Amino acid sequence: MVEIEPEKPPRSNVQVLLGFLLGIVASLGGLFLAIFLGGLFKAGNWIYPTIEAIALIGMGIFAARRVPGSSLALGVVIALSLALLLDGICAVSLAR
């Protein structure tokens, strides 16, 4: 007999969009945290994108573990990965 696999429910586009917006809010929170902590360390301009990257990677790992079961987490991961890409571009521009 052929085993029939249960169909996966389709992802909700609205939930992915809401997750994307939540990811933008989370990345802005990470940016404010980086500005606050960077002001305390007073190490130079390179510290801001470094702290931001650490925050984004931490939030991204947390959200990526929940992607298989949640459309909301998928949107968060998409937004955080775009924010990390922009953070990398910012870090390169500050290094020059």
Sign of CA dihedral 38, 63, 86, 54: positive
- Provide the pLDDT confidence category of residue 5 given band limits of 50, 70 and 90: confident
Percent of all residues in the chain with a pLDDT value above 90, rounded to a whole number: 51
In this prediction, residue 82 carries a pLDDT of: 95
What is the identity of the amino acid at 12?
S
In this prediction, residue 93 carries a pLDDT of: 87
Distance (Å, whole) CA 70 – CA 26: 17
The 10s digit of each residue's pLDDT in 48-91 is 888 899 999 999 999 999 888 888 999 999 999 999 999 999 88
Distance (Å, whole) CA 86 – CA 74: 19
Long-range contacts (CB closer than 8 Å, 24 or more residues apart) made by 60-69: 60/84, 63/23
